[in-house]
Amino acid sequence: MINITLPDGTIKQYNKGVTANEIALSISEGLARNVLAAMVNEQTVESSRPIETDAHVRLLTWNDPEGKNVFWHTSAHLMAEAIEQLYPGVKFGIGPCIETGFYYDIDFLDYNISSDDFKRIEDKMAEIVASKQAVVRREVSKQEALDYFTKKGDEYKLELIQDLEDGKITFYDSGTFTDLCRGPHLTSMAPIKAIKLLSLAGAYWRGDEKRKQLTRIYAVTFPKKKELDEYLLLLEEAKKRDHRKIGKELELFTFSQKVGAGLPIWLPKGAALRERLENFLKKVQKTYGYQQVICPHIGNVDLYKTSGHYQKYGQDSFRPISTPQEGEEFFLKPMNCPHHCEIYASKPRSYKDLPLRIAEFGTVYRYEQSGELHGLTRVRGFTQDDAHIFCTSEQLEEEFCKVIDIVLYIFKTLDFKEYIAQVSLRDPNNKEKYIGTDENWQKAENAIMKAAKERNLNTVVEIGEAAFYGPKLDFMVKDAIGRKWQLGTIQVDYNLPERFGLEYIGSDNEKHRPIMIHRAPFGSMERFVAVLIEHTGGNFPLWLTPEQAVILPISEKYHDYAKYVETLLSEKDVRVSIDERGEKTGKKIRDAEMRKVPYMLIVGEKEQNDKTVSVRQHGQIDVGVMSIDDFANFIAEHVQSSLKKD
């Protein structure tokens, strides 16, 4: 007998060689039906794997992320099997599960697969599922593995096997398909009830652009059709919230081929919205002792040689521009920090000047590969809500914490309820990627970890994700439909002050080197507005929205009254307009709803006589009649309360 410890701490005795399936069955039949795999001593295994010694066992179902992973991983094999049957001779790369679903990278040789093939493949997959075939794990020797794929002629699998250690190689057989795989897998394809192939993409073999590009097929599967339908609905919802679509509809921004790819043009409504965001942040920063500065959009090449950016990114930047007479070279500013270092260096500094907090909505230009450009989230010209804090090492942690406070306040004000803070550290095995001394890196990394702990942040640590000059803390938010977006960043930097020779005179009358914090709570205005659009679906908070209310006169007879209302409201800073078209009220309401205007003020005979407006709220029905003043006050209070700091 062996002792099996379950997650709730209970210990049960079973015969040696018991399987997770049997354990589940001993608890309940329902559980047994739903078990997909098991976690045995922190290792996921098949639910059919015999357990030979005392162990901690967690049964994995669809409700566990690990259970989903196994489900999707097996689904990838299912898809491969179907594809192999339909397109004999194709070669397989890798087929892992991903956050939602899975993909398989496949070399289709001469065949040009398209999404028209999806239906066939889905049908074939369903057919295989219906045959209820088992998925069987088998250990093979390295030679056996090599022989199998040599015979099959799959050089990708052979390459994978080369890197594996003999004695640790497993194959999984399912129906006609055998795959090299670490596993674990479902013991049968039967639970895979709903299948959807999603998209095709090219993907380099082993992520190396010099190697062959395979065809990647993304797909997702579920144990219930209903869940697939829900997922497809979520995709639809995401499509509706696409900031590129909404940005166009609400006339916030546009792109022009003539202006150039990746160079967003802010239209009046978008520019006004962005300006409100900037003013909001400026106001917050003022209370935290920041000073605004303005720098030019270009900087001498030497500036970036000093900062180290030239050596690191010079080749991947827009080519320098040069003066016609002297041939002096300038780069379009790719970041603001070197300029800000020069602001620091513009006069001698005393410890009494520190911390010095320099802020700028600085527009920067970076060459992004053409295939990378994407709406407002990935562009070649964008404005950072940037600031650099120069401080002493004693001040570092407190300053860092204050920045965290600003970030969290912004998230709260803009209704991002969930966030994760990612601490990005240097990869200690790859030090040549970074500049600066070990000692400084150590200090910087410690400071970040300490501050994150101090503010009790929900953090994850990523090794090797640091900027080349220092570690950072990045904030990811979850939007209204659960998608994650990276926004603000805070970075500690010991290196730039050194490269720029920045100093201050301490209380000891000696020269010292300040430490720099780079930070951008929004990240960039472009990206932030994009995320805000996707988060709100274009229904911006009242204080931000381009148009807070629209007046809808019932007929032409009330246009004068409508103008009267407009004047009164405008005087009280309500952003309002009149729909004076000769359309019926129903039509005007429909259009205002589509434009996502928060309030519609319907005015006709009654309202004119009583000096009131009939208020309708976006997405709702009639919310009652108010006096003009009451409505103005209502808007003002609403705006104030959403910006209140508590």
Partner RNA sequence: GCCGUUGUAGCUCAGUGGUAGAGCACUUCCUUGGUAAGGAAGAGGUCACGAGUUCAACUCUCGUCAACGGCUCCA
Residues marked as catalytic: 337, 366, 384, 386, 388, 472, 518
Minimum CB separation from RNA for residue 46, in Å? 28
84 binds RNA (CB under 7 A): no
Q: Which is nearer to RNA, 223 or 538 (CB)?
A: 538
202 binds RNA (CB under 7 A): yes
- Distance, CA of 552 to CA of 583 (rounded, Å): 10
For 541-569, b/e burial (b = at least 16 CB within 10 A) is bbbbbbbbbbbbbbeeebeebbebbbebb
User: Which of 48, 74, 422, 614 lies at the binding interface for RNA (CB under 7 A)?
Assistant: 614
User: How remote is the C-alpha of 568 from its chain's centroid?
Assistant: 43
- Identify the helix (H) or strand (E) that includes residue 628: helix 628-643
Eight-class DSSP state of 511:
E
Q: 148 with 138: CB under 8 angstroms? A: no
Name residues contacting RNA, limited to 486-515 (CB under 7 A): none
Q: Which is nearer to RNA, 61 or 213 (CB)?
A: 213
Nearest to 470 by CA among 312, 252, 291: 312
Eight-class DSSP state of 621:
-
468, HSE (Cβ side, Cα atoms, 13 Å): 11
- Distance, CA of 539 to CA of 493 (rounded, Å): 38
Q: Which is nearer to RNA, 256 or 633 (CB)?
A: 256
294 binds RNA (CB under 7 A): no
Minimum CB separation from RNA for residue 226, in Å? 24
537 binds RNA (CB under 7 A): no
429 binds RNA (CB under 7 A): no
- Distance, CA of 169 to CA of 138 (rounded, Å): 9
154 binds RNA (CB under 7 A): no
- Distance, CA of 552 to CA of 585 (rounded, Å): 7
Eight-class DSSP state of 120:
H
- Distance, CA of 424 to CA of 426 (rounded, Å): 7
What residue type is assigned to position 23 of the chain?
A: I
Site track 110-149 with RNA (rule: CB under 7 A), x = hit = --x-x-----------------------------------
Minimum CB separation from RNA for residue 600, in Å? 6
147-155, 348-356, 390-398, 597-605 -> range binding RNA (CB under 7 A)? 597-605
390-398, 442-450, 562-570, 582-590 -> range binding RNA (CB under 7 A)? 582-590
Minimum CB separation from RNA for residue 198, in Å? 8
Minimum CB separation from RNA for residue 289, in Å? 24
Name residues contacting RNA, limited to 249-268 (CB under 7 A): 255, 257, 260-262
Task: Enumerate the β-bridge partners of residue 57.
Answer: 40
Task: Enumerate the β-bridge partners of residue 476.
Answer: 420, 486
- Residue whose tokens read 């004119």: 608
Helices (H), 55-207: 65-86, 118-130, 142-152, 155-162
Q: How many residues bind RNA (CB under 7 A)?
A: 68
Q: Which is nearer to RNA, 10 or 315 (CB)?
A: 315
248 binds RNA (CB under 7 A): yes
Q: Which is nearer to RNA, 320 or 506 (CB)?
A: 320
Name residues contacting RNA, limited to 5-64 (CB under 7 A): none
- Distance, CA of 607 to CA of 127 (rounded, Å): 66
10-18, 183-191, 450-458, 578-586 -> range binding RNA (CB under 7 A)? 578-586
- Distance, CA of 535 to CA of 238 (rounded, Å): 10
539 binds RNA (CB under 7 A): no
Q: Which is nearer to RNA, 135 or 477 (CB)?
A: 477
Q: Is 165 left (phi over 0), alpha (psi -120 to 50) or beta?
A: beta
453 binds RNA (CB under 7 A): no
Q: In degrees rounded to 5, what are phi and psi of residue 505?
A: -95, 120
User: Which of 68, 73, 309, 455 lies at the binding interface for RNA (CB under 7 A)?
Assistant: 309
Binding site for RNA (CB under 7 A): 112, 114, 199-204, 207, 209, 213, 215-216, 244, 248, 255, 257, 260-262, 309, 312-313, 316-317, 334-335, 337, 366-375, 378, 467-468, 554-557, 581-587, 589-590, 593-594, 600, 602-607, 614, 616, 619, 621-622
